[in-house]
Structure 1
Amino acid sequence: MTDSKTNDQRKAELLSKQVEHIDIRSFDARPIIDAMGKMSFTSRDLARATDIYNQMLADPKCTIFLVIAGSTSAGGCMDAYAELLRSNMIDGVVATGASIVDMDFFEGLGHKHYQALEVPDDMTLRSLYIDRIYDTYIDEEQLQDCDNTIYKIAESLNPGGYSSRAFIREMGRYLSEHGKKENSLVKLAYEHDVPIFCPAFVDSSAGFGLVKHQVERIRDKKPYVMLDAAADFRELTDIKIKAGTTGLLMIGGGVPKNFVQDTVVCAEVLGHEDIEMHKYAVQITVADVRDGACSSSTLKEAASWGKVDTALEQMVYAEAGSVLPLLASDAWHRGFWKNREPRAWSKLFD
């Protein structure tokens, strides 16, 4: 058996190299994107996707949603997403709970993600309380601090139903008062009135904290905080109805992709027959449509459901961490965001 000191030393060795998040302002990707536009295959797809995103930014009527699934936040894109929000290049976020809670909020509390310098047996990692995301590590003990902070936030709120947007806003408020990272997407969203929706919110550290809150409240025969999934859909659809023209910048797929696209159909169900399909759409993914992995549809296919227009859409089949920084840097340096009016859609629910 190894002693605790040996375990601590081994853990420190494995968690010795922090992931450094890319700064899209530090390099100008415009020449690269321009050159890619003269190439073929995925390079040309990325150049066209970047052009479509720039068109979203240049369109004064367009509300832009950043849609995130997968682990790009943990892998080094966290500051890129934060910069898009800070620079008024997105107006709303729809994401997985893991992206928002286990990754962004987690770092907002002062914790870090680490590069795996080696990948030992995963049971060894388990014995050291290290969680693995491909070649990235998280300290499970730090992640439990995230769970417990969610619990504390729930305990501070009045009992009742909350959309994920409303609860995440309280998380942003907490980070604004107690956080340890300026570049937190959750914190910046709170400060800039940008709503964040997580349609599968409890599939994350938020779930552990909220379950603990509810179990203790039920034990003490007290009312508790609940997540209202229908309120999520209603609120996001309300934004779509009032926004009119919309664009989607989608990283990955899954529930966030379908959720934001379905707002068009939901608006029609509510009697808004003149609702616009999402005018612009970009999706960066490695998923294939043939086995249903690409949320079972390309963007063109989504047009058959009345969700996405086909004139200004582009699929980019690439690992997002390798191409998103180029797209975002190009758009930041072209500067169309400088003339955009902030939407502040969170104020809609005050």
Structure 2
Amino acid sequence: MTEPLVNDQRKAELLSKQVRHIDIKSFDARPIIDQMEGMSFTSRDLARATRIYNQMLEDKDCSIFLVIAGSTSAGGCMDLYAELVRNNMVDGIVATGATIVDMDFFEGLGHKHYQAQEIPDDDTLRSLYIDRIYDTYIDEVALQDCDHTIFEIAESLEPRPYSSRAFIREMGKWLAKNGKKENSLVKLAYEHDVPIFCPAFTDSSAGFGLVKHQVDAMKRGGHYMTLDSIADFRELTDIKIKAGVTGLLMVGGGVPKNFIQDTVVCAEILGHEVDVHKYAVQITVADVRDGACSSSTLQEAASWGKVSTAMEQMVFAEAGSVIPLLASDAYHRGHWKTRAKRAYATMFDRAVQAPKG
């Protein structure tokens, strides 16, 4: 899409400072976490959450799921999540479509997120085709490149139903060949056979590209690929059944949180005896008083038969300020070095039609 006529100088001023993603390898958070363990309030909660995550990594039988909602990827945690995949510190991912598409895949194409040095009125931002996430900016024209690339990937595939995991794997394959960023979560997950699920996948920039694919295919009188949300639930439940002992590292809440927790109930309905998620950590600022699913505590989830209360910890904090400490501590303690690789993505491998052309 051709960029509209805008004030290019003003737009360049606002998009002048890129977000720098934190490098958990560049600092050792162990001394900080060790001291926080002797403190109170959120500091002690974070120290206990970090200890539980290290227990997940140390438990040779435990499969770990990273669960992400919110905008921490755009805000500077993108490389952090990539390092967890690169170093075998997570075995599966459940996330929002925005986290995977608008943020990670977007940067995999070579685009950037920007710090807002000033925030004019949002009508002005709209006139400049700048999208805002709190104090972070995205170039809308660059985001449309993301839409178009999703469309091209959809056009290249056999017209049949796909789970979001299967389609995101195709996105990772595309980035492995054509991407411009080594530390893309989608690309690394493809290369390390870590499955990514987005239960509300079209609630993202991908939705525009997929709608265009469907409309164009209908105009051609042909078939089109579709997303199968039931397959998402079934595949994730299949992993839970195979995994046995599981741990959850959850950033935010929302649909991804409930989706991964519900695999326990689904497995039981299918006639399998499975354990509740043995370990669970959730970092959130959600208020529990309104009874919303996103803000339900892990203790509440225990009443549904989803999570054990023995090794769980809620951390009520802005995730971007605490998840780097947790991840750096776990990286430097090094329990990941002796973990077995699960490669759960290979459970579902099947041939797909090669790209056209």
Give the TM bin, normalised by the shorter chain.
over 0.9
Deviation at 1:289?
A: 1.1
Conserved 8 A contact 1:252-1:284: yes
Give the structure 2 partner of residue 43 of structure 1: 43
Q: Is the 8 A contact 1:24 1:328 kept in 2?
A: yes
In structure 1, what is the equivalent of residue 338 of structure 2? 339
Instruction: Answer whether contact 1:287 1:293 (CA < 8 A) is retained.
Output: no
- Shift in CA distance, 277/98, structure 1 to aligned 2, threshold 3 Å: same
Residue matched to 1:217:
217
User: What does residue 200 of structure 2 align with?
Assistant: 200
User: Residue in 2 aligned with 1:328?
Assistant: 327
Map 1:24-103 to 2 at 5 A: 24-103=24-103
Q: CA RMSD in A?
A: 0.9
Q: How far apart are the structure 1 equivalents of 2:22 and 2:283? A: 18
Residue 287 of structure 1 contacts residue 294 of structure 1 at CA under 8 Å; is this kept in 2? no
The Cα of 1:177 is off from its aligned counterpart by 0.1
Aligned to 2:353: none
- Matched to 1:98, the amino acid is A
Structure 1 position 265 matched with structure 2 position 265: yes
> SS at the partner of 2:94?
strand
Letter matched to residue 335 of structure 1: G
SS in 2 for 1:118: coil
**Cα deviation 1:74-94 (Å, max 9, x = unaligned):** 000000000000000000000
Q: What amino acid sits opposite 1:158 in the alignment?
A: E
Distance, in Å, in 2 between the alignment partners of 1:292 and 1:327 is 28
Question: Is the alpha carbon distance of 1:43 and 1:294 closer, same or farther for their aligned partners in structure 2, counting shifts above 3 Å?
Answer: farther
- Asked if the contact 1:97–1:202 (Cα under 8 Å) also holds between the matched residues in 2, the reply is yes
Alpha-carbon separation, structure 2, partners of 1:204 and 1:5? 26
* Displacement of 1:292: 2.8
Alignment of 1:1-350 (within 5 A): 7-272=7-272, 274-293=273-292, 295-350=294-349
Residue 295 of structure 1 and its aligned partner are, at CA, apart by 1.8
Comparing 73-82 and 5-14, the one that deviates more: 5-14
Q: What's the CA shift string for 1:2-45, capped at 9, x where partnerless?
A: xx887000000000000000000000000000000000000000
Q: Please state how far the C-alpha of 1:219 moved relative to its aligned partner.
A: 1.5
Letter in 1 for 2:276: M
Partners of 1:235 and 1:30 lie apart in 2 by 36
- Deviation track 1:21-74 (CA, whole Å, cap 9, x = no partner) reads 000000000000000000000000000000000000000000000000000000
How many Å separate the matches in 1 of 2:331 and 2:205?
Answer: 32
Distance 1:224 1:73 in 2: 31
> 1:153, CA displacement in angstroms?
0.1
Residue identity opposite 1:97 in structure 2: G
1:297 Cα deviation after fit? 1.5
Structure 1: which amino acid aligns with 2:148?
N
Unpaired segments ≥5 residues, structure 2 = 350-357
Report if the CA contact (8 A) 1:247-1:280 is conserved. yes
Residue in 1 that maps onto 2:352: none
Q: Tell whether the 8 Å contact from 2:288 to 2:297 is kept in structure 1 after alignment.
A: yes
Measure how far apart 1:216 and its partner are. Answer: 0.8
Structure 1 segments unaligned to the other structure (5+ residues): none
C-alpha distance in 1, partners of 2:148/2:292?
33
TM-score (norm 1): 0.98
- What CA deviation, in whole Å up to 9, does each residue of 1:241-293 have, x standing for no partner? 00000000000000000000000000000001x21000000000000111134
Q: Identity rate of aligned residues, in percent?
A: 80
> 1:192, 1:344 within 8 Å by CA — same for their partners in 2?
yes
Shift of 1:225: 0.7
Query: By how many angstroms is 1:294 displaced?
Result: 5.2
1:234 deviates by 0.2
Q: How many pairs align? A: 346
CA contact (8 A) 1:54 1:336 kept: yes
> Which segment drifts farther, 73-82 or 296-305?
296-305
For normalisation by structure 2, the TM-score amounts to 0.96
**Deviation, structure 1 residue 168:** 0.1
Aligned to 1:295, what secondary structure does the other structure show? helix
Distance 1:308 1:101 in 2: 29
Q: Secondary structure at the match of 1:343?
A: coil
Q: Is the 8 A contact 2:286 2:295 kept in 1?
A: no
- Alpha-carbon contact 2:277-2:307 (below 8 Å) kept: yes
